[in-house]
Amino acid sequence: MKKLFTFLLLAISLLLQACDSASESAAPGTGRGGSMARFTVAGNTLYRVGPNHLPAYNISDPADPRPGNRINLGMGVETIFPYGNHLFIGTQTGMFIFDIQQPQSPRMLSVFNHIQSCDPVVAQGNFAYVTLRSGTDCRNTSLNTLDVVDIQNPAQPKLFKSYPMLNPHGLAIDGNLLFVSEGEHGLKVFDATNPGDLRELQFLRGIRTYDLIPDRNTLIVTGASGIFQYNYDDPRNLKLISSLPIEP
């Protein structure tokens, strides 16, 4: 089931990025994808994270993709998220930040270390948002938090603030809105205008959530029972648009 969700999120993510590239106002690599994704497209480069490595592929000619550098990352690599000229790699021991101004040759800038735990990440502006959760095979037995990381200087990321959570999974950010999947507990919506003082706007219970993709006031949500779309014109009152049930 988890592999199916990952595949569906990947397909949705690539579709959204393809739509962005066709828009005059959209810049490539803005990070509109799921926080649990294992590969992503930024400009004309596709990046993929394996268990311990980061390969890059030039896809300027889709019929003839060309491999770039392959970087060893160590063990426990899980997720990838592009934002601007950077890649944020979530691993079980920390968050890696890579400079991709030379797309085929990503350059590691820094590592933000944390306890061994599953680690999806998203970024916007001067902050990255990382969730750490218990109840997984990542050896974290008790910690459930949302960490806000100051990335104003990507070469020196530092913890800005931690917020207690119930069992956070994937997350997404769009403007001043931060969405956090709380697994079996539901979905939380925060006002992230001030990252040091997140304000909960809604806690949508009764839905099991895994990961999220926001796109033009529509939030795509994956969960154990299927894929859902919510309108968030009113972030205090998300409206269900559609659902696609998935049999267990």
State the DSSP H helix or E strand holding residue 18, giving kind and residue range, or none if neither: helix 2-21
Is the separation of the CB atoms in 72 and 53 below 8 Å? Answer: yes
Give the pLDDT band of residue 135 (cuts 50, 70, 90): low
Residue 138 confidence (pLDDT) above 70: no
Q: Are strands 171-174 and 177-181 parallel, antiparallel or unpaired?
A: antiparallel
Give the pLDDT band of residue 91 (cuts 50, 70, 90): confident
Is the separation of the CB atoms in 170 and 192 below 8 Å? Answer: no
Q: Taking Cα atoms as reference points, which of 209, 174, 167 lies closest to residue 192?
A: 174
Residue 45 confidence (pLDDT) above 50: yes
The pLDDT value recorded for residue 115 is 55
What is 64-114 written as a DSSP string?
A: S-EEEEEEE--S-EEEEEEETTEEEEEESSEEEEEE-SSTTS-EEEEEEE-
The three-state secondary structure class of 22 is: coil
CA atoms within 13 A on the CB side of 8: 20
Compute the distance between CA of residue 246 and CA of residue 103 in angstroms, rounded to an integer.
37
Task: Mark residue 186 as left, alpha or beta (left: phi above 0; alpha: psi -120 to 50; beta: remaining).
Answer: left
Residue 81 confidence (pLDDT) above 50: yes
For residue 26, what is the DSSP state? Answer: P
Task: Mark residue 51 as left, alpha or beta (left: phi above 0; alpha: psi -120 to 50; beta: remaining).
Answer: alpha
Query: 93 or 163, which is more confident?
Result: 163
The pLDDT value recorded for residue 22 is 35
Each residue of 164-214: pLDDT tens digit? 999 999 999 999 999 999 999 999 999 999 999 999 999 999 899 999 999
Residue 11 confidence (pLDDT) above 60: no
Distances (CA, A) of 156 to 132, 149, 196: 20, 10, 18
Domains and CATH numbers, the chain: 2-245 (2.120.10.80)
Give the pLDDT band of residue 33 (cuts 50, 70, 90): low
The pLDDT value recorded for residue 246 is 80
- The share of the chain scoring above pLDDT 90, in percent, equals 61
Residue 240 confidence (pLDDT) above 70: yes
Compute the distance between CA of residue 95 and CA of residue 128 in angstroms, rounded to an integer.
10
The pLDDT value recorded for residue 74 is 79
Compute the distance between CA of residue 111 and CA of residue 69 in angstroms, rounded to an integer.
19
Distances (CA, A) of 166 to 51, 75, 155, 181, 219: 27, 27, 31, 10, 21
Each residue of 109-125: pLDDT tens digit? 999 986 555 678 999 99
Compute the distance between CA of residue 128 and CA of residue 63 in angstroms, rounded to an integer.
35
pTM for the structure as a whole: 0.84
